């Protein structure tokens, strides 16, 4: 379940994840600058200890359980219901997004819809909870780093 598979090419994974992170970084920096420029990188600069704690908590209590449920379990349980993989990825992303309704935020729903599709695609390609969790952690941690934590319902 949580292992690096031998067929994965780490260079390819890191290249794809980095390219996507650059897009995410560009869009989110512009978004924070537009919505509330005072928040840009504020957690890292003014609340470093809380930021580190948040990343740790996020990793073990959010990323790992979510990837187990929405990728490992969901893929094993429901993949056979779909003939088209993109329809399956979209459905997985919708379910992942709906699970975030508790944040009562259209922004969170949009982010998790996009992220859910990316994570479904990554899991499909890698068949690895390890790699999809790493990718989820990278993008989610970036949101805290750039200053979007408060915008998406976290104390940072």
- How many Å apart are CA 56 and CA 129, to the nearest integer? 18
- Domain membership of residue 79 (yes or no) is yes
Name the DSSP class of 83.
S
Could you tell me the CA-to-CA distances from 70 to 47, 57, 74 in Å, in that order? Answer: 31, 19, 5
- Domain membership of residue 156 (yes or no) is no
Q: CB–CB of 93/116 below 8 Å?
A: yes
Per-residue pLDDT at 156: 78
- How many Å apart are CA 64 and CA 67, to the nearest integer? 5
Per-residue pLDDT at 7: 63
State the total domains in the chain.
1
- Domain membership of residue 2 (yes or no) is no
Per-residue pLDDT at 25: 98
- Its pTM stands at 0.92
pLDDT in tens, the chain (156 residues): 555 555 678 899 999 999 999 999 999 999 999 999 999 999 999 999 999 999 999 999 999 999 999 999 999 999 999 999 999 999 999 999 999 999 999 999 999 999 999 999 999 999 999 999 999 999 999 999 999 998 898 877
Instruction: Tokens 């309704």: give the residue.
Output: 101
Per-residue pLDDT at 98: 98
- Domain membership of residue 5 (yes or no) is no
- Domain membership of residue 1 (yes or no) is no
Per-residue pLDDT at 149: 92
Per-residue pLDDT at 5: 57
Per-residue pLDDT at 4: 54
Instruction: Domain of residue 120: give its range.
Output: 10-150
What is the rounded radius of gyration, in angstroms, for the C-alpha atoms of the chain? 16
Instruction: Tokens 């990728």: give the residue.
Output: 71
């Amino acid at each position: 379940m949580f292992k690096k598979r031998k067929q994965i090419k780490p260079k390819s994974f890191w290249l794809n994840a980095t390219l996507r992170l650059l897009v995410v970084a560009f869009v989110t920096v512009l978004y924070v600058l537009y919505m509330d420029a005072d928040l840009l990188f504020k957690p890292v600069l003014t609340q470093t200890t809380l930021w580190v704690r948040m990343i740790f908590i996020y990793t073990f209590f959010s990323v790992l359980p979510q990837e187990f449920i929405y990728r490992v379990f969901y893929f094993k349980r429901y993949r056979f219901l779909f003939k088209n993989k993109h329809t399956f990825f979209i459905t997985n992303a919708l379910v992942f997004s709906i699970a975030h309704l508790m944040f009562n935020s259209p922004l969170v729903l949009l982010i998790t819809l996009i992220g859910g599709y990316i994570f479904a695609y990554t899991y499909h390609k890698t068949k690895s909870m390890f790699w999809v969790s790493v990718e989820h952690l990278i993008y989610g941690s970036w949101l805290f780093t750039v200053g979007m934590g408060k915008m998406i319902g976290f104390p940072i």
